[in-house]
Amino acid sequence: MIKNITIIGAGNVAFHLCKAFVELGIEPKQVFVRNRSKSLPFAKMGVELVHNAAEIGNSELFILAVNDDSIADAAALLPAGDALVVHTSGSMPCEMLKDFSPNYGVFYPLQTFSLEREVDFKVIPLFIEGANPATENKLKELADLLSDSVIVSTNLDRRLLHLGAVYVSNFSNALFGIAHQILEENALSFQHLVPLMRETVEKAIVKNPLAVQTGPARRNDKETIAAQLNLLKNRPEEKEIYEMLTNYIINKYHTPKK
Amino acid sequence: MIKNITIIGAGNVAFHLCKAFVELGIEPKQVFVRNRSKSLPFAKMGVELVHNAAEIGNSELFILAVNDDSIADAAALLPAGDALVVHTSGSMPCEMLKDFSPNYGVFYPLQTFSLEREVDFKVIPLFIEGANPATENKLKELADLLSDSVIVSTNLDRRLLHLGAVYVSNFSNALFGIAHQILEENALSFQHLVPLMRETVEKAIVKNPLAVQTGPARRNDKETIAAQLNLLKNRPEEKEIYEMLTNYIINKYHTPKK
């Protein structure tokens, strides 16, 4: 079992991974936080912080919890050797780490993390991959401590999951933002939509989103659609999104009455 | 307090309103179910069903829980008189009922209902309006029994809320459907996205969707965006939606680094 873990990065993924390890009693050996202004949340956990790459010591496992375009730069900071090196990206292949160690892999938690929000790591799907069976086994053993849902995956799997995540999370949030603006600008609370938002997600989870599509577009209710487009007449971008998604739903879901 | 309620309609709103009243001990006097094949869920509750409009008796309150384009037809079936008549639509003005009774109004629960899913009516926002103060008071009194969140509203309020609901519910569900298809067609379970979907909603509720936008578009991460568009190359419609929402997020949320 891996005992010495070093985390490179100070973002939301780094923080929540670090926290989950600390809570499991596996305190990271070091956390490399380049930007000192990001130290506080880590310092509060009592973990050893380093701010200069030269201070990064040897470790059994280096977790590069940094943005996609910083992974290679972060890997280049590590001490030479054959320590296990993983990144946490859903987009990048594990082979991008092959020049840094013969033992590399991926450790991708599929969740949206924020500093201020608690997460239950046990329920977060953790997609892993190892460059060789021994590496993969070690990662699996560690991942199983963190999550009840550990999946050995390929890069294509993770890229598809990440694409799905963009639709259900990033794009949905943008739609929530549109509703928020429309309501708040008219002195109506966004909170009125809360039970609807929760039920929409739970229904899609329990049933299947393809089976539970509802609304004016699903019924091709031209009168309501026209009236809603009229409410959007001063919001050309939001109107364009309304039109595109409405046409998509009509084409895909609406069955004309005979 | 209104004691005699008649529900016109056999859809999801009719069913859940009927159920909520029964649970409160206010058994509807009659439920008008034109299509006999929809009787069973109502019959199970033990309420009196009628299938011919001629059998609709007098009542204190008629709730027209039917599709927008059937409201006027449903109102025309009611016995003449000055009973209180309301519809449950988020789109239609209450004045459309003025020819049927001097006492009319709206009783709009903002939620997505399905026969098979339990709902807690107490948390559902209920938007009401009455043609005159006495009518509005009666509706408020009744609504307060059903829900902890009763709001006196205008037609414009309800139309804006309904528009917001289309974005957060109907359109989001269509995005969930896209992710579902992409994953299941590649032998990946949609269920992997469940914790992410829940957290996305909770974060938007607690914070503000405008403050928590993340993802490749938010960062204007051109490499990931191009790679994801490439995964969508055989899905022109889903790709178009990806492009439009990505451009929207870049324009609205991305702040270029200096």
State the complex-level ipTM. Answer: 0.96
pLDDT, mean of residues B223-246: 97
Confidence check: pLDDT of B255 > 90: no
Q: Name the residue among A172, A177, A193 with its Cβ closest to that of B165.
A: A193
Would residue A258 count as lying in a domain?
no
Residue B209 and residue A183: Cβ atoms within 8 Å?
A: no
Give me the phi and psi of A77, to 5 degrees please: -80, -15
Whether residues B242 and B162 share a domain: the answer is yes
Mutating which of A155, A157, A162, A201 best tests the B interface, going by the most B Cβ atoms within 10 A? Answer: A201
What is the predicted pLDDT for the residue at B116? 87
Query: What digits encode the pLDDT tens for the residues A136-147?
Result: 999 999 999 999
Q: Name the residue among B111, B167, B249 with its Cβ closest to that of A199.
A: B111
Whether residues A27 and A130 share a domain: the answer is yes
In the block, tokens 């895909």 appear at A252
Would residue B174 count as lying in a domain?
yes
Q: Which residue of B has its CA nearest to A218?
A: B170
Question: Tokens representing B242?
Answer: 């990806």
pLDDT, mean of residues B131-135: 97
In the block, tokens 């959007």 appear at A232
Q: Which residues from chain B sit within 8 angstroms of residue A215, using beta carbons?
A: 166, 169-170
Q: Which residue of A has its CA nearest to B153?
A: A188
Would residue B83 count as lying in a domain?
yes
Residue predicted with more confidence, A199 or B116: A199
Q: What's the CA gap between B164 and A196, in Å, rounded? A: 10
| End residue of a domain, out of B153, B170, B187 | B153
Q: What's the CA gap between B173 and A209, in Å, rounded? A: 6
Q: What's the CA gap between B34 and B67, in Å, rounded? A: 13
Q: Name the residue among B167, B174, B203 with its Cβ closest to that of A179.
A: B167
Amino acid identity of residue B79, one-letter, is: P
pLDDT, mean of residues B83-96: 96
What is the predicted pLDDT for the residue at B257? 67
Q: What's the CA gap between B191 and A205, in Å, rounded? A: 7
Spell out the residues 6+ positions from residue A246 whose beta carbon is closer than 8 angstroms to its own: A216, A217, A225
Residue B192 and residue A117: Cβ atoms within 8 Å?
A: no
Whether residues B35 and B107 share a domain: the answer is yes
Confidence bin at A177 (pLDDT 50/70/90): very high
A196 touches chain B (CB under 8 A): yes
Would residue B107 count as lying in a domain?
yes
Residue B196 and residue A171: Cβ atoms within 8 Å?
A: no
Residue A215 and residue B169: Cβ atoms within 8 Å?
A: yes
**How many CA atoms lie within 13 Å of B144's alpha carbon, on the beta-carbon side?**
9
Number of H helices, E strands in chain B: 9, 8
Q: Which residues from chain A sit within 8 angstroms of residue B242, using beta carbons?
A: 166-167, 171
Whether residues B192 and B176 share a domain: the answer is yes
Determine which helix (DSSP H) or strand (DSSP E) holds B30, and give its type and residue range.
strand B30-32
Whether residues B149 and B163 share a domain: the answer is no
Q: Are B125 and B149 in contact (CB under 8 A)?
A: yes
Would residue B147 count as lying in a domain?
yes
What is the pLDDT of chain B when averaged over all its residues? 96
User: Which residues constitute the domain of residue A26?
Assistant: 5-153
CB within 8 Å of chain A, chain B residues 65-124:
67-69, 91, 110-112, 114, 117, 119, 123-124
pTM for this model (two decimals): 0.95
Q: What is the CATH number of the domain that holds B192?
A: 1.10.1040.20
Q: Which is nearest to B91 in space by CA: B136, B158, B139? A: B158
- Point out which residues pair with B6 in neighbouring strands: B30, B62
What is the predicted pLDDT for the residue at A115? 86
Q: 3-class DSSP state for residue B41?
A: helix
Whether residues B169 and B124 share a domain: the answer is no
Whether residues B84 and B200 share a domain: the answer is no
Q: What's the CA gap between B100 and B75, in Å, rounded? A: 7
Q: How far is B196 from chain A (nearest CA, A)?
A: 5
Domain total in chain B: 2
Q: Which residue of B has its CA nearest to A240?
A: B244
DSSP string, B189-205: -GGGGHHHHHHHHHHHH
Whether residues A193 and A227 share a domain: the answer is yes
Q: Which residue of B has its CA nearest to A126?
A: B192
B216 touches chain A (CB under 8 A): yes
Q: Name the residue among B119, B149, B192 with its Cβ closest to that of A161.
A: B192
Confidence check: pLDDT of B258 > 70: no
Q: How far is B34 from chain A (nearest CA, A)?
A: 18
Question: Tokens representing A123?
Answer: 């329920």
Whether residues A245 and A175 share a domain: the answer is yes
Q: What's the CA gap between B126 and B146, in Å, rounded? A: 9
Would residue B258 count as lying in a domain?
no
Query: What digits encode the pLDDT tens for the residues B182-234?
Result: 999 999 999 999 999 999 999 999 999 999 999 999 999 999 999 999 999 99
| End residue of a domain, out of B138, B153, B168 | B153
Would residue B14 count as lying in a domain?
yes
B154 touches chain A (CB under 8 A): no
Would residue B236 count as lying in a domain?
yes
Residue A228 and residue B163: Cβ atoms within 8 Å?
A: yes
Confidence bin at A38 (pLDDT 50/70/90): very high
Q: What's the CA gap between B163 and A203, in Å, rounded? A: 20
Q: 3-class DSSP state for residue A236?
A: helix
Q: Which residues from chain B sit within 8 angstroms of residue A205, using beta carbons?
A: 191, 194, 197
Q: What is the CATH number of the domain that holds B134?
A: 3.40.50.720
In the block, tokens 């409410």 appear at A231
Query: What digits encode the pLDDT tens for the residues A200-212?
Result: 999 999 999 999 9
Whether residues B34 and B136 share a domain: the answer is yes
A181 touches chain B (CB under 8 A): yes
B25 touches chain A (CB under 8 A): no
Distance set, CA B131 to CA B152, B154, B164, B211 (Å): 12, 11, 25, 40
Q: Which residues from chain B sit within 8 angstroms of residue A122, using beta carbons?
A: none
A189 touches chain B (CB under 8 A): no
Q: Are B170 and A249 in contact (CB under 8 A)?
A: yes
Q: Name the residue among A160, A180, A232 with its Cβ closest to that of B231.
A: A160
Q: 3-class DSSP state for residue A152?
A: strand
What is the predicted pLDDT for the residue at A246? 98
| End residue of a domain, out of B119, B153, B187 | B153
Question: Tokens representing B109?
Answer: 């629960």
Query: What digits encode the pLDDT tens for the residues B98-112?
Result: 999 999 999 999 999
Q: How far is B177 from chain A (nearest CA, A)?
A: 5
Spell out the residues 6+ positions from residue B24 whose beta carbon is closer than 8 angstroms to its own: B145, B146
A239 touches chain B (CB under 8 A): no
CB atoms within 10 A of CB A99: 10
Q: 3-class DSSP state for residue B6?
A: strand
Whether residues B89 and B178 share a domain: the answer is no
∠ CA B27-B50-B138, rounded to 5°: 40
Whether residues A135 and A223 share a domain: the answer is no
